[in-house]
Amino acid sequence: MHHRSAGLIRRLGGAEIAAVVIFIVVFAIPLSTKSVLVYSVLNQVLVGVVAAFSVWIMLRMNLLSFATPAFMAIGGYTVAIAGRYDITNAFLLTAGAFVLPALVAVPLGALVLRLRGTYFVLVTFVLSQIMQLLLFETPDLTGGSNGIAGVPPGTLLGTELASNQQVLLFACGLALLATLITALVTRYFRQHFAAIEENEILAESLGLVVWRYKALGFVVSAGVAGLAGYSLVNMLLTAHPSSFDSITAVDFIAYTIVGGRASILGPIVGSTLLVYATNLFGTHGQYAQGLYGVLILVVILAARGGIVGTVGTLLRRRA
């Protein structure tokens, strides 16, 4: 009996179910405390996790993307610009924050997905640089180097999301949505992504239309990044180029690699730990990047599976 239920969980994806449960349970935190510190850290974690999911989806196919900040910018600025026109419906904004980056990802993907390995990394890095420059060069639309301040609070089913608690609850909602999307896509196409990750040529010879799945991954990854951008703007009530600096891609990549690239729980664990660690540095928050560097070294050299992978291996050895 135990055997059968274990098999069922494996088919539905134990890790995916756990991830969704985590982001349902997380709603309890803003409802049970008012601590400013907890609010701040949790909100940062929620943004980080969604951005890390964006990186993780592409990493399922062994493609390391530096483009997450660029797509986050599209999502975030869409919300901020919509706010200027008094569009504050949270459902609409959420849809826009997902769909617009996804649409942009279609032609971009057609261009850049021909490349593999380090070439793909370079191209996505250049994309992020271009987005940064575009933000500065279009002051009428994006506010240029000043960004867009005073983004109005969203409205959900008639209620204005103005209080800190409401803002955080909404961030929980965005994170849950991102988790559902990520879990569903990566679970349903698990075999396809895994085949591409391990041996693209073999997969294609067996009939897999590889470019289609790369494109799918890229588009979903962009949409999820857009949600992260919305979450960031939602937290800061400002859309500013410095929030979407191409160098922030390094943070999200660190969360994913250190947390563990083989499981959906990896980005969750990685973001939580690393964002928390950054906050421990207090005013010396920039030192955290050095810690990220050391952790990445450790993972790459000694513990490829990251935290989740290593824990998983230890548990299996004991079983």
Residue ranges in contact with other proteins by CB under 8 A:
62, 64, 111-112, 114-119, 121-123, 125-127, 129-130, 133-134, 136-137, 191-192, 194-195, 198-199, 201-210, 247, 250, 253, 257, 286-287, 289-294, 296-297, 300-301
What is the nearest approach in angstroms of other proteins to the Cβ of residue 173? Answer: 32
Beta bridge partners of 159: 156
Closest to other proteins by CB, 19 vs 108, is 108
User: Which among 136, 98, 138, 93 has a CA at the least distance from the CA of 234?
Assistant: 93
What is the nearest approach in angstroms of other proteins to the Cβ of residue 232? Answer: 21
Closest to other proteins by CB, 109 vs 173, is 109
Q: What backbone torsions phi and psi does residue 273 show, to the nearest 5 degrees?
A: -65, -45
What is the nearest approach in angstroms of other proteins to the Cβ of residue 129? Answer: 5
Q: How far apart are the first and last CA of the chain?
A: 18
What is the nearest approach in angstroms of other proteins to the Cβ of residue 133? Answer: 4
How far apart, in whole angstroms, are the C-alpha atoms of residue 27 and residue 21?
10
In 13-89, which residue ranges form alpha helices assigned H by DSSP? 14-25, 28-32, 36-59, 68-84
Closest to other proteins by CB, 161 vs 295, is 295
3-state SS assignment for residue 148? strand
User: Which among 254, 278, 270, 268 has a CA at the least distance from the CA of 307?
Assistant: 270
Closest to other proteins by CB, 94 vs 124, is 124
Closest to other proteins by CB, 9 vs 87, is 9
Give the DSSP H or E segment for 160: strand 159-160
Closest to other proteins by CB, 38 vs 296, is 296
Q: What backbone torsions phi and psi does residue 183 show, to the nearest 5 degrees?
A: -60, -45
What is the nearest approach in angstroms of other proteins to the Cβ of residue 291? Answer: 8
What is the nearest approach in angstroms of other proteins to the Cβ of residue 189? Answer: 10
